Structure 1
Protein backbone atom coordinates (compact mmCIF):
# COMPACT_ATOMS: atom_id res chain seq x y z
CA UNK A 1 0.00 0.00 0.00
CA UNK A 2 1.40 3.41 -0.97
CA UNK A 3 1.98 5.84 1.85
CA UNK A 4 -0.44 8.74 1.43
CA UNK A 5 -0.46 10.06 5.01
CA UNK A 6 2.13 10.42 7.73
CA UNK A 7 1.40 7.90 10.47
CA UNK A 8 1.65 8.98 14.10
CA UNK A 9 1.48 7.08 17.34
CA UNK A 10 -0.35 8.33 20.41
CA UNK A 11 -0.18 7.64 24.11
CA UNK A 12 -3.33 6.32 25.82
CA UNK A 13 -5.22 9.11 27.56
CA UNK A 14 -4.45 7.55 30.95
CA UNK A 15 -0.67 7.32 30.39
CA UNK A 16 1.57 8.73 33.11
CA UNK A 17 4.51 11.01 32.20
CA UNK A 18 6.98 8.12 32.48
CA UNK A 19 4.73 5.92 30.36
CA UNK A 20 4.55 8.67 27.73
CA UNK A 21 8.34 8.76 27.70
CA UNK A 22 8.72 5.00 27.15
CA UNK A 23 5.92 4.91 24.56
CA UNK A 24 7.57 7.73 22.59
CA UNK A 25 10.85 5.79 22.57
CA UNK A 26 9.03 2.69 21.30
CA UNK A 27 7.18 4.70 18.63
CA UNK A 28 10.46 6.10 17.37
CA UNK A 29 11.98 2.61 17.19
CA UNK A 30 8.97 1.37 15.21
CA UNK A 31 9.35 4.15 12.65
CA UNK A 32 6.32 6.32 13.38
CA UNK A 33 6.51 9.84 12.01
CA UNK A 34 5.12 11.54 15.10
CA UNK A 35 3.91 10.93 18.63
CA UNK A 36 1.07 12.67 20.45
CA UNK A 37 0.15 12.94 24.11
CA UNK A 38 -3.16 14.12 25.52
CA UNK A 39 -3.82 16.18 28.63
CA UNK A 40 -6.22 14.40 30.95
CA UNK A 41 -4.66 13.30 34.24
CA UNK A 42 -1.18 14.79 33.80
CA UNK A 43 0.52 17.90 32.42
CA UNK A 44 1.17 17.30 28.74
CA UNK A 45 4.21 19.59 28.61
CA UNK A 46 5.95 17.66 31.40
CA UNK A 47 5.26 14.38 29.64
CA UNK A 48 6.53 15.60 26.29
CA UNK A 49 9.64 17.14 27.84
CA UNK A 50 10.54 13.65 29.08
CA UNK A 51 9.76 12.20 25.66
CA UNK A 52 11.91 14.85 24.01
CA UNK A 53 14.93 13.94 26.15
CA UNK A 54 14.53 10.24 25.39
CA UNK A 55 14.10 10.50 21.59
CA UNK A 56 16.01 12.08 18.73
CA UNK A 57 13.95 11.94 15.54
CA UNK A 58 10.22 11.60 16.08
CA UNK A 59 7.99 14.70 16.08
CA UNK A 60 6.16 15.36 19.35
CA UNK A 61 2.70 16.89 19.68
CA UNK A 62 0.41 18.01 22.47
CA UNK A 63 -3.02 16.74 21.51
CA UNK A 64 -4.18 18.72 23.19
CA UNK A 65 -2.99 21.20 25.80
CA UNK A 66 -6.01 22.95 27.33
CA UNK A 67 -5.56 26.59 26.36
CA UNK A 68 -8.21 28.19 28.56
CA UNK A 69 -6.89 26.44 31.67
CA UNK A 70 -3.82 28.66 31.20
CA UNK A 71 -2.88 32.06 29.85
CA UNK A 72 -0.87 32.88 26.72
CA UNK A 73 2.34 33.62 28.63
CA UNK A 74 2.44 30.25 30.41
CA UNK A 75 1.71 28.44 27.15
CA UNK A 76 4.37 30.43 25.29
CA UNK A 77 6.94 29.51 27.96
CA UNK A 78 6.03 25.82 28.14
CA UNK A 79 5.92 25.38 24.37
CA UNK A 80 9.21 27.24 23.94
CA UNK A 81 10.88 24.97 26.50
CA UNK A 82 9.70 21.74 24.86
CA UNK A 83 10.80 23.10 21.49
CA UNK A 84 14.26 23.75 22.96
CA UNK A 85 14.51 20.37 24.64
CA UNK A 86 13.36 18.49 21.53
CA UNK A 87 15.64 20.36 19.15
CA UNK A 88 12.75 21.73 17.14
CA UNK A 89 10.52 18.62 17.01
CA UNK A 90 7.54 20.00 18.95
CA UNK A 91 4.06 20.85 17.65
CA UNK A 92 1.82 22.87 19.95
CA UNK A 93 -1.68 21.42 19.78
CA UNK A 94 -4.23 23.57 21.60
CA UNK A 95 -7.89 23.07 22.37
CA UNK A 96 -10.55 24.98 24.24
CA UNK A 97 -12.16 22.13 26.22
CA UNK A 98 -15.82 22.77 27.10
CA UNK A 99 -17.51 25.23 29.44
CA UNK A 100 -18.15 22.96 32.48
CA UNK A 101 -14.51 21.89 32.63
CA UNK A 102 -13.09 25.38 32.19
CA UNK A 103 -15.40 26.95 34.76
CA UNK A 104 -15.85 24.11 37.25
CA UNK A 105 -12.67 22.04 36.97
CA UNK A 106 -10.16 24.81 36.26
CA UNK A 107 -12.06 27.78 37.74
CA UNK A 108 -11.18 29.91 34.73
CA UNK A 109 -13.32 32.28 32.65
CA UNK A 110 -15.38 31.06 29.70
CA UNK A 111 -17.18 32.91 26.96
CA UNK A 112 -17.11 33.24 23.18
CA UNK A 113 -14.53 30.44 22.83
CA UNK A 114 -13.75 30.97 19.15
CA UNK A 115 -13.02 34.67 19.59
CA UNK A 116 -11.11 33.94 22.80
CA UNK A 117 -8.97 31.31 21.06
CA UNK A 118 -8.12 33.65 18.21
CA UNK A 119 -6.99 36.23 20.74
CA UNK A 120 -5.08 33.57 22.70
CA UNK A 121 -3.07 32.42 19.67
CA UNK A 122 -2.38 36.02 18.67
CA UNK A 123 -1.00 36.69 22.13
CA UNK A 124 1.24 33.60 22.10
CA UNK A 125 2.66 34.62 18.73
CA UNK A 126 3.22 38.18 19.94
CA UNK A 127 5.18 36.91 22.96
CA UNK A 128 7.33 34.66 20.78
CA UNK A 129 7.93 37.56 18.40
CA UNK A 130 9.12 39.77 21.25
CA UNK A 131 11.56 37.09 22.39
CA UNK A 132 12.83 36.50 18.85
CA UNK A 133 13.33 40.13 17.90
CA UNK A 134 13.95 41.95 21.17
CA UNK A 135 11.13 44.32 20.30
CA UNK A 136 8.91 45.62 23.07
CA UNK A 137 6.01 43.34 23.98
CA UNK A 138 2.79 45.23 23.33
CA UNK A 139 -0.21 43.00 22.84
CA UNK A 140 -3.67 44.34 23.61
CA UNK A 141 -6.44 41.99 22.58
CA UNK A 142 -10.04 41.66 23.58
CA UNK A 143 -9.37 39.00 26.21
CA UNK A 144 -5.60 39.10 26.78
CA UNK A 145 -3.14 41.92 27.30
CA UNK A 146 0.63 41.42 27.55
CA UNK A 147 2.70 44.57 27.86
CA UNK A 148 5.61 43.68 30.15
CA UNK A 149 8.71 41.66 29.26
CA UNK A 150 12.12 42.63 30.59
CA UNK A 151 15.43 40.87 29.97
CA UNK A 152 15.36 39.00 33.28
CA UNK A 153 12.36 36.95 32.05
CA UNK A 154 13.15 36.87 28.33
CA UNK A 155 14.57 33.53 27.07
CA UNK A 156 15.58 35.12 23.79
CA UNK A 157 15.23 33.66 20.30
CA UNK A 158 14.65 29.94 20.06
CA UNK A 159 17.44 28.55 17.83
CA UNK A 160 14.97 26.04 16.39
CA UNK A 161 12.29 28.59 15.63
CA UNK A 162 8.82 28.61 17.13
CA UNK A 163 6.75 25.41 17.08
CA UNK A 164 3.78 25.23 14.73
CA UNK A 165 0.40 25.81 16.38
CA UNK A 166 -2.37 23.31 15.72
CA UNK A 167 -5.93 23.93 16.87
CA UNK A 168 -8.57 21.36 17.72
CA UNK A 169 -11.91 22.32 16.19
CA UNK A 170 -15.28 20.85 15.29
CA UNK A 171 -17.72 23.73 14.80
CA UNK A 172 -17.63 26.25 12.00
CA UNK A 173 -16.42 29.20 14.10
CA UNK A 174 -13.45 27.44 15.69
CA UNK A 175 -12.57 25.85 12.34
CA UNK A 176 -12.45 29.30 10.77
CA UNK A 177 -10.20 30.50 13.60
CA UNK A 178 -7.84 27.61 12.92
CA UNK A 179 -7.72 28.58 9.28
CA UNK A 180 -6.93 32.21 10.08
CA UNK A 181 -4.33 31.91 12.85
CA UNK A 182 -3.01 28.33 13.12
CA UNK A 183 -0.63 26.15 11.15
CA UNK A 184 -2.87 23.12 11.23
CA UNK A 185 -6.08 21.55 12.46
CA UNK A 186 -6.48 18.64 14.86
CA UNK A 187 -9.62 16.98 13.52
CA UNK A 188 -11.83 15.62 16.30
CA UNK A 189 -12.22 11.81 16.36
CA UNK A 190 -15.99 12.25 16.11
CA UNK A 191 -15.71 13.25 12.47
CA UNK A 192 -17.21 11.49 9.46
CA UNK A 193 -15.78 11.68 5.98
CA UNK A 194 -18.76 13.73 4.67
CA UNK A 195 -18.44 16.24 7.53
CA UNK A 196 -14.70 16.55 6.92
CA UNK A 197 -15.10 16.89 3.15
CA UNK A 198 -18.20 19.09 3.02
CA UNK A 199 -17.92 21.22 6.18
CA UNK A 200 -14.44 21.27 7.71
CA UNK A 201 -12.23 21.56 4.65
CA UNK A 202 -14.37 24.17 2.83
CA UNK A 203 -14.50 26.24 6.03
CA UNK A 204 -10.72 26.09 6.39
CA UNK A 205 -10.16 26.91 2.74
CA UNK A 206 -12.39 29.95 2.89
CA UNK A 207 -10.74 31.19 6.10
CA UNK A 208 -7.30 30.85 4.50
CA UNK A 209 -8.23 32.76 1.37
CA UNK A 210 -8.72 29.79 -0.91
CA UNK A 211 -5.67 27.61 -0.30
CA UNK A 212 -4.57 25.01 2.27
CA UNK A 213 -0.94 25.06 1.12
CA UNK A 214 1.32 24.73 4.14
CA UNK A 215 -1.60 23.85 6.41
CA UNK A 216 -1.72 20.43 8.11
CA UNK A 217 -4.77 18.33 8.94
CA UNK A 218 -4.29 15.56 11.47
CA UNK A 219 -6.84 12.99 12.62
CA UNK A 220 -6.91 10.46 15.44
CA UNK A 221 -9.19 7.90 13.82
CA UNK A 222 -11.48 5.66 15.85
CA UNK A 223 -10.58 2.06 15.05
CA UNK A 224 -12.11 -1.31 15.99
CA UNK A 225 -9.02 -3.46 15.49
CA UNK A 226 -8.61 -7.21 15.89
CA UNK A 227 -7.49 -10.25 13.97
CA UNK A 228 -10.96 -11.83 14.09
CA UNK A 229 -14.52 -11.10 15.21
CA UNK A 230 -13.93 -12.53 18.67
CA UNK A 231 -10.96 -10.28 19.33
CA UNK A 232 -12.89 -7.28 18.00
CA UNK A 233 -15.89 -7.79 20.28
CA UNK A 234 -14.57 -5.85 23.30
CA UNK A 235 -13.05 -3.22 20.99
CA UNK A 236 -16.43 -2.75 19.34
CA UNK A 237 -18.11 -2.11 22.70
CA UNK A 238 -15.43 0.35 23.75
CA UNK A 239 -15.59 2.35 20.52
CA UNK A 240 -19.40 2.51 20.63
CA UNK A 241 -19.08 3.85 24.16
CA UNK A 242 -16.53 6.45 23.10
CA UNK A 243 -18.71 7.60 20.20
CA UNK A 244 -21.68 7.89 22.58
CA UNK A 245 -19.62 9.90 25.06
CA UNK A 246 -18.51 12.40 22.42
CA UNK A 247 -21.90 12.53 20.72
CA UNK A 248 -23.58 13.46 24.02
CA UNK A 249 -21.69 16.78 24.04
CA UNK A 250 -23.84 19.60 22.62
CA UNK A 251 -20.82 21.17 20.90
CA UNK A 252 -20.51 18.13 18.63
CA UNK A 253 -24.20 17.96 17.69
CA UNK A 254 -23.67 19.49 14.21
CA UNK A 255 -21.66 16.43 13.16
CA UNK A 256 -24.58 14.14 13.98
CA UNK A 257 -27.13 16.56 12.53
CA UNK A 258 -25.42 16.29 9.17
CA UNK A 259 -26.35 12.60 9.10
CA UNK A 260 -29.88 13.14 10.42
CA UNK A 261 -28.98 11.98 13.94
CA UNK A 262 -29.78 15.14 15.87
CA UNK A 263 -32.37 13.31 17.96
CA UNK A 264 -29.74 10.74 18.92
CA UNK A 265 -27.46 13.53 20.13
CA UNK A 266 -30.27 14.87 22.32
CA UNK A 267 -31.04 11.43 23.76
CA UNK A 268 -27.39 10.77 24.51
CA UNK A 269 -27.05 14.13 26.24
CA UNK A 270 -30.03 13.30 28.46
CA UNK A 271 -28.61 9.87 29.28
CA UNK A 272 -25.20 11.35 30.08
CA UNK A 273 -26.74 13.46 32.82
CA UNK A 274 -27.89 10.21 34.42
CA UNK A 275 -24.44 8.69 33.74
CA UNK A 276 -26.15 5.85 31.89
CA UNK A 277 -22.96 4.88 30.06
CA UNK A 278 -23.97 1.31 29.12
CA UNK A 279 -27.31 2.53 27.83
CA UNK A 280 -25.55 5.18 25.79
CA UNK A 281 -23.18 2.70 24.16
CA UNK A 282 -26.12 0.47 23.24
CA UNK A 283 -27.73 3.43 21.44
CA UNK A 284 -24.89 3.51 18.90
CA UNK A 285 -26.13 1.27 16.09
CA UNK A 286 -24.05 -0.14 13.26
CA UNK A 287 -24.73 2.80 10.93
CA UNK A 288 -23.47 5.31 13.47
CA UNK A 289 -20.45 3.13 14.28
CA UNK A 290 -19.56 2.84 10.61
CA UNK A 291 -19.82 6.59 10.08
CA UNK A 292 -17.25 7.40 12.75
CA UNK A 293 -15.03 4.32 12.99
CA UNK A 294 -13.44 1.64 10.83
CA UNK A 295 -13.42 -2.02 11.82
CA UNK A 296 -11.46 -5.11 10.85
CA UNK A 297 -8.05 -6.71 10.92
CA UNK A 298 -4.93 -4.67 10.19
CA UNK A 299 -5.11 -4.97 6.41
CA UNK A 300 -8.82 -4.15 6.28
CA UNK A 301 -8.54 -1.16 8.60
CA UNK A 302 -5.56 0.22 6.66
CA UNK A 303 -7.47 -0.07 3.39
CA UNK A 304 -10.58 1.59 4.82
CA UNK A 305 -8.62 4.43 6.43
CA UNK A 306 -6.87 5.08 3.14
CA UNK A 307 -10.15 4.97 1.22
CA UNK A 308 -11.79 7.44 3.60
CA UNK A 309 -9.03 9.91 4.28
CA UNK A 310 -6.41 9.84 1.52
CA UNK A 311 -6.30 13.29 -0.01
CA UNK A 312 -8.15 14.82 2.95
CA UNK A 313 -5.85 14.16 5.90
CA UNK A 314 -2.08 14.74 6.09
CA UNK A 315 -1.38 12.84 9.32
CA UNK A 316 -3.28 10.00 10.94
CA UNK A 317 -3.09 8.15 14.23
CA UNK A 318 -5.23 5.45 15.80
CA UNK A 319 -7.74 6.13 18.57
CA UNK A 320 -7.95 2.87 20.51
CA UNK A 321 -10.02 3.27 23.71
CA UNK A 322 -9.33 -0.35 24.68
CA UNK A 323 -6.40 -2.76 25.08
CA UNK A 324 -5.47 -3.46 21.47
CA UNK A 325 -3.13 -6.29 20.53
CA UNK A 326 0.29 -4.61 20.03
CA UNK A 327 1.04 -6.96 17.15
CA UNK A 328 -2.13 -5.85 15.35
CA UNK A 329 -1.31 -2.17 15.90
CA UNK A 330 2.20 -2.75 14.54
CA UNK A 331 0.73 -4.58 11.57
CA UNK A 332 -1.69 -1.71 10.92
CA UNK A 333 1.18 0.77 10.96
CA UNK A 334 3.13 -1.41 8.52
CA UNK A 335 0.11 -1.74 6.20
CA UNK A 336 -0.37 2.02 6.08
CA UNK A 337 3.29 2.65 5.37
CA UNK A 338 3.23 0.16 2.51
Structure 2
Protein backbone atom coordinates (compact mmCIF):
# COMPACT_ATOMS: atom_id res chain seq x y z
CA UNK A 1 0.00 0.00 0.00
CA UNK A 2 1.27 3.47 -0.84
CA UNK A 3 -0.23 6.87 -0.17
CA UNK A 4 0.22 10.21 -1.86
CA UNK A 5 2.20 13.09 -0.42
CA UNK A 6 -1.06 14.94 0.26
CA UNK A 7 -2.50 11.95 2.19
CA UNK A 8 0.73 11.60 4.16
CA UNK A 9 0.69 15.31 5.07
CA UNK A 10 -2.96 15.14 6.14
CA UNK A 11 -2.33 12.02 8.25
CA UNK A 12 0.64 13.55 10.06
CA UNK A 13 -1.11 16.89 10.57
CA UNK A 14 -4.17 15.15 12.03
CA UNK A 15 -2.05 13.24 14.55
CA UNK A 16 -0.17 16.37 15.60
CA UNK A 17 -3.33 18.50 15.88
CA UNK A 18 -5.02 19.46 19.15
CA UNK A 19 -6.85 17.28 19.89
CA UNK A 20 -5.20 14.61 17.73
CA UNK A 21 -7.37 12.55 15.39
CA UNK A 22 -7.04 9.27 13.51
CA UNK A 23 -9.04 8.00 10.57
CA UNK A 24 -10.73 5.25 12.64
CA UNK A 25 -11.43 7.51 15.62
CA UNK A 26 -9.00 5.83 18.02
CA UNK A 27 -6.93 7.65 20.60
CA UNK A 28 -3.18 7.82 20.01
CA UNK A 29 -2.51 5.17 22.70
CA UNK A 30 -5.40 2.90 21.74
CA UNK A 31 -5.09 -0.52 20.09
CA UNK A 32 -7.55 -1.98 17.66
CA UNK A 33 -9.49 -4.96 18.98
CA UNK A 34 -7.19 -7.92 19.60
CA UNK A 35 -8.84 -11.28 18.89
CA UNK A 36 -6.86 -14.30 20.12
CA UNK A 37 -7.66 -17.93 19.31
CA UNK A 38 -5.76 -20.49 21.41
CA UNK A 39 -5.74 -24.19 20.72
CA UNK A 40 -3.19 -26.69 22.12
CA UNK A 41 0.22 -25.29 21.12
CA UNK A 42 -1.16 -22.86 18.54
CA UNK A 43 -2.02 -19.21 18.87
CA UNK A 44 -3.73 -17.07 16.24
CA UNK A 45 -4.12 -13.31 16.49
CA UNK A 46 -6.24 -10.89 14.51
CA UNK A 47 -5.35 -7.24 15.05
CA UNK A 48 -7.47 -5.19 12.70
CA UNK A 49 -6.73 -6.92 9.41
CA UNK A 50 -3.37 -8.28 10.57
CA UNK A 51 -3.46 -12.06 10.88
CA UNK A 52 -0.66 -14.05 12.55
CA UNK A 53 -0.49 -17.71 13.55
CA UNK A 54 2.17 -19.18 15.85
CA UNK A 55 3.04 -22.70 16.95
CA UNK A 56 5.51 -24.20 19.44
CA UNK A 57 6.98 -27.67 19.85
CA UNK A 58 9.54 -29.51 21.99
CA UNK A 59 12.37 -31.74 20.79
CA UNK A 60 14.98 -33.66 22.78
CA UNK A 61 18.61 -32.61 22.32
CA UNK A 62 21.84 -34.21 23.45
CA UNK A 63 24.23 -32.17 25.58
CA UNK A 64 27.92 -32.67 24.86
CA UNK A 65 29.47 -35.59 22.93
CA UNK A 66 27.12 -38.29 21.69
CA UNK A 67 27.81 -41.98 21.14
CA UNK A 68 28.76 -41.48 17.49
CA UNK A 69 31.31 -38.81 18.37
CA UNK A 70 29.16 -35.86 17.28
CA UNK A 71 28.66 -32.86 19.55
CA UNK A 72 25.11 -32.29 20.76
CA UNK A 73 23.69 -28.78 20.46
CA UNK A 74 21.68 -28.99 23.69
CA UNK A 75 22.56 -27.18 26.87
CA UNK A 76 21.45 -27.25 30.49
CA UNK A 77 18.50 -24.89 30.79
CA UNK A 78 17.29 -25.62 27.27
CA UNK A 79 17.58 -23.85 23.96
CA UNK A 80 15.24 -21.82 21.72
CA UNK A 81 14.96 -22.02 17.93
CA UNK A 82 12.78 -19.40 16.27
CA UNK A 83 11.49 -18.75 12.75
CA UNK A 84 9.27 -15.86 11.64
CA UNK A 85 7.86 -16.29 8.15
CA UNK A 86 6.35 -13.58 5.94
CA UNK A 87 3.74 -15.24 3.74
CA UNK A 88 3.18 -14.15 0.15
CA UNK A 89 -0.46 -13.47 1.03
CA UNK A 90 0.63 -10.74 3.45
CA UNK A 91 2.99 -9.04 1.01
CA UNK A 92 1.79 -9.82 -2.54
CA UNK A 93 3.93 -7.05 -4.01
CA UNK A 94 7.20 -8.53 -2.66
CA UNK A 95 9.38 -10.93 -4.61
CA UNK A 96 10.27 -14.34 -3.11
CA UNK A 97 13.78 -13.06 -2.39
CA UNK A 98 12.42 -9.98 -0.61
CA UNK A 99 10.11 -12.18 1.44
CA UNK A 100 13.03 -14.39 2.46
CA UNK A 101 15.05 -11.33 3.50
CA UNK A 102 12.14 -9.89 5.52
CA UNK A 103 11.62 -13.27 7.21
CA UNK A 104 15.32 -13.52 8.05
CA UNK A 105 15.32 -10.00 9.51
CA UNK A 106 12.34 -10.75 11.77
CA UNK A 107 13.82 -14.09 12.82
CA UNK A 108 17.07 -12.34 13.77
CA UNK A 109 15.06 -9.79 15.78
CA UNK A 110 12.91 -12.27 17.71
CA UNK A 111 15.40 -15.08 18.37
CA UNK A 112 17.58 -13.36 21.03
CA UNK A 113 14.53 -11.79 22.66
CA UNK A 114 12.78 -15.14 23.08
CA UNK A 115 16.00 -16.87 24.12
CA UNK A 116 16.70 -14.29 26.85
CA UNK A 117 13.15 -14.52 28.24
CA UNK A 118 12.71 -18.31 28.11
CA UNK A 119 16.15 -19.71 28.89
CA UNK A 120 17.87 -20.93 30.90
CA UNK A 121 15.02 -22.75 32.61
CA UNK A 122 15.19 -25.77 34.89
CA UNK A 123 12.01 -27.01 33.16
CA UNK A 124 13.94 -27.40 29.91
CA UNK A 125 16.67 -29.55 31.46
CA UNK A 126 15.76 -33.25 31.24
CA UNK A 127 18.95 -34.99 32.43
CA UNK A 128 21.64 -32.57 33.66
CA UNK A 129 24.64 -32.45 31.31
CA UNK A 130 23.05 -35.10 29.03
CA UNK A 131 19.57 -34.23 27.71
CA UNK A 132 17.56 -31.03 27.34
CA UNK A 133 14.51 -29.68 25.51
CA UNK A 134 14.76 -27.59 22.36
CA UNK A 135 11.82 -25.18 22.29
CA UNK A 136 10.90 -24.54 18.66
CA UNK A 137 8.81 -21.44 17.92
CA UNK A 138 7.41 -20.55 14.51
CA UNK A 139 5.13 -17.68 13.50
CA UNK A 140 3.64 -16.91 10.09
CA UNK A 141 2.34 -13.47 9.10
CA UNK A 142 -0.66 -14.34 6.91
CA UNK A 143 -1.90 -10.77 6.46
CA UNK A 144 -0.34 -7.43 7.41
CA UNK A 145 -2.70 -4.54 8.03
CA UNK A 146 -0.11 -2.78 10.20
CA UNK A 147 1.66 -3.49 13.49
CA UNK A 148 2.68 -7.04 12.58
CA UNK A 149 5.57 -7.14 15.08
CA UNK A 150 3.29 -6.60 18.07
CA UNK A 151 0.83 -9.17 16.69
CA UNK A 152 3.60 -11.77 16.23
CA UNK A 153 4.60 -11.42 19.88
CA UNK A 154 0.99 -11.82 21.06
CA UNK A 155 0.55 -14.94 18.90
CA UNK A 156 3.75 -16.48 20.29
CA UNK A 157 2.65 -15.64 23.83
CA UNK A 158 -0.70 -17.36 23.22
CA UNK A 159 0.97 -20.50 21.87
CA UNK A 160 3.43 -20.65 24.78
CA UNK A 161 0.63 -20.17 27.33
CA UNK A 162 -0.83 -23.57 26.46
CA UNK A 163 2.50 -25.39 26.08
CA UNK A 164 2.93 -28.37 28.41
CA UNK A 165 6.37 -29.68 29.40
CA UNK A 166 6.22 -33.50 29.64
CA UNK A 167 7.03 -34.95 33.06
CA UNK A 168 10.15 -37.10 32.95
CA UNK A 169 12.19 -39.20 35.34
CA UNK A 170 15.84 -40.11 35.08
CA UNK A 171 16.88 -43.65 34.24
CA UNK A 172 19.84 -44.88 36.27
CA UNK A 173 22.01 -47.82 35.33
CA UNK A 174 23.68 -50.08 37.89
CA UNK A 175 27.09 -51.48 37.03
CA UNK A 176 27.95 -54.81 38.63
CA UNK A 177 31.56 -55.77 39.31
CA UNK A 178 32.96 -58.91 37.75
CA UNK A 179 35.11 -61.41 39.64
CA UNK A 180 37.62 -63.99 38.52
CA UNK A 181 39.49 -66.61 40.45
CA UNK A 182 38.39 -68.81 43.34
CA UNK A 183 36.70 -67.38 46.47
CA UNK A 184 35.83 -69.06 49.74
CA UNK A 185 33.14 -67.21 51.69
CA UNK A 186 29.91 -67.62 53.56
CA UNK A 187 26.56 -67.61 51.79
CA UNK A 188 25.84 -64.07 53.06
CA UNK A 189 29.18 -62.80 51.77
CA UNK A 190 28.61 -64.37 48.36
CA UNK A 191 25.13 -62.80 48.23
CA UNK A 192 26.66 -59.40 49.00
CA UNK A 193 29.24 -59.82 46.24
CA UNK A 194 26.58 -60.69 43.68
CA UNK A 195 24.28 -57.78 44.57
CA UNK A 196 27.02 -55.20 44.99
CA UNK A 197 26.90 -52.44 42.38
CA UNK A 198 27.80 -48.84 41.86
CA UNK A 199 25.02 -46.25 41.62
CA UNK A 200 25.60 -43.68 38.89
CA UNK A 201 23.93 -40.46 37.84
CA UNK A 202 20.94 -40.68 35.46
CA UNK A 203 22.11 -41.38 31.93
CA UNK A 204 18.77 -41.14 30.18
CA UNK A 205 15.09 -40.49 30.87
CA UNK A 206 11.62 -41.83 30.34
CA UNK A 207 8.25 -40.11 30.27
CA UNK A 208 6.07 -40.42 33.34
CA UNK A 209 2.54 -41.72 33.03
CA UNK A 210 0.18 -38.90 33.93
CA UNK A 211 -3.44 -37.94 33.45
CA UNK A 212 -2.50 -34.70 31.69
CA UNK A 213 0.08 -33.67 29.12
CA UNK A 214 2.57 -32.19 31.59
CA UNK A 215 3.30 -28.94 33.37
CA UNK A 216 2.67 -25.47 31.95
CA UNK A 217 5.57 -23.09 31.60
CA UNK A 218 6.60 -21.59 34.90
CA UNK A 219 5.88 -17.86 35.13
CA UNK A 220 3.97 -17.93 31.85
CA UNK A 221 2.25 -14.71 32.89
CA UNK A 222 5.70 -13.10 32.64
CA UNK A 223 6.13 -13.93 28.96
CA UNK A 224 7.26 -10.89 26.95
CA UNK A 225 5.12 -8.49 24.96
CA UNK A 226 6.03 -5.94 22.32
CA UNK A 227 4.76 -2.39 21.98
CA UNK A 228 5.66 -0.39 18.87
CA UNK A 229 5.69 3.40 19.06
CA UNK A 230 5.07 5.08 15.72
CA UNK A 231 6.93 8.38 15.80
CA UNK A 232 6.43 11.86 14.45
CA UNK A 233 9.22 13.69 16.20
CA UNK A 234 8.63 13.19 19.93
CA UNK A 235 4.92 12.42 19.40
CA UNK A 236 3.94 8.77 19.13
CA UNK A 237 0.88 6.63 18.56
CA UNK A 238 0.23 2.90 18.98
CA UNK A 239 -0.95 0.13 16.68
CA UNK A 240 -0.57 1.82 13.31
CA UNK A 241 -2.87 0.61 10.55
CA UNK A 242 -1.29 -0.19 7.19
CA UNK A 243 -2.18 3.28 5.85
CA UNK A 244 -0.81 4.97 8.97
CA UNK A 245 2.37 2.91 8.72
CA UNK A 246 2.86 4.08 5.14
CA UNK A 247 2.56 7.70 6.22
CA UNK A 248 4.66 7.40 9.39
CA UNK A 249 7.64 5.13 8.87
CA UNK A 250 9.68 5.84 12.01
CA UNK A 251 9.03 3.09 14.57
CA UNK A 252 10.49 2.05 17.92
CA UNK A 253 9.56 -1.47 19.07
CA UNK A 254 10.10 -2.25 22.76
CA UNK A 255 10.07 -5.77 24.23
CA UNK A 256 9.27 -6.17 27.94
CA UNK A 257 8.24 -8.78 30.46
CA UNK A 258 6.70 -8.09 33.87
CA UNK A 259 6.62 -10.06 37.11
CA UNK A 260 3.68 -10.21 39.48
CA UNK A 261 5.62 -8.37 42.18
CA UNK A 262 6.57 -5.46 39.91
CA UNK A 263 3.89 -4.62 37.39
CA UNK A 264 5.63 -1.48 36.18
CA UNK A 265 9.36 -2.08 36.57
CA UNK A 266 9.62 -4.48 33.69
CA UNK A 267 12.57 -6.40 32.30
CA UNK A 268 13.67 -5.09 28.91
CA UNK A 269 14.53 -7.81 26.40
CA UNK A 270 15.50 -5.43 23.61
CA UNK A 271 14.38 -2.64 21.32
CA UNK A 272 14.37 -2.11 17.59
CA UNK A 273 14.25 1.19 15.69
CA UNK A 274 13.51 1.52 12.00
CA UNK A 275 12.77 4.49 9.78
CA UNK A 276 14.32 7.19 7.62
CA UNK A 277 14.56 9.80 10.38
CA UNK A 278 17.17 10.10 13.09
CA UNK A 279 16.01 9.31 16.60
CA UNK A 280 17.08 12.14 18.89
CA UNK A 281 18.97 11.07 21.99
CA UNK A 282 16.88 13.29 24.26
CA UNK A 283 13.68 11.59 23.12
CA UNK A 284 14.85 8.04 23.85
CA UNK A 285 14.37 8.07 27.65
CA UNK A 286 10.79 9.44 27.66
CA UNK A 287 9.80 7.12 24.81
CA UNK A 288 11.15 4.07 26.67
CA UNK A 289 9.26 5.08 29.82
CA UNK A 290 6.02 5.51 27.87
CA UNK A 291 6.55 2.25 26.03
CA UNK A 292 7.14 0.37 29.27
CA UNK A 293 3.86 1.68 30.67
CA UNK A 294 1.90 0.59 27.59
CA UNK A 295 3.66 -2.79 27.57
CA UNK A 296 2.66 -3.34 31.20
CA UNK A 297 -0.97 -2.60 30.37
CA UNK A 298 -0.89 -4.94 27.37
CA UNK A 299 0.72 -7.74 29.40
CA UNK A 300 -1.89 -7.42 32.16
CA UNK A 301 -4.75 -7.38 29.64
CA UNK A 302 -3.49 -10.52 27.88
CA UNK A 303 -2.98 -12.36 31.19
CA UNK A 304 -6.52 -11.47 32.25
CA UNK A 305 -7.90 -12.61 28.87
CA UNK A 306 -6.04 -15.94 28.95
CA UNK A 307 -6.94 -16.72 32.58
CA UNK A 308 -10.61 -15.97 31.95
CA UNK A 309 -10.56 -18.32 28.96
CA UNK A 310 -8.86 -21.03 31.06
CA UNK A 311 -11.61 -20.75 33.70
CA UNK A 312 -14.28 -20.94 31.01
CA UNK A 313 -12.70 -24.03 29.42
CA UNK A 314 -12.29 -25.75 32.80
CA UNK A 315 -15.95 -25.14 33.62
CA UNK A 316 -17.00 -26.57 30.26
CA UNK A 317 -14.98 -29.76 30.91
CA UNK A 318 -16.72 -30.31 34.26
CA UNK A 319 -20.18 -30.33 32.70
TM-score, normalisation: structure 2: 0.25
* TM-score, normalising length: structure 1: 0.24
Higher strand residue share: 2
* Structure with the greater alpha carbon radius of gyration: 2
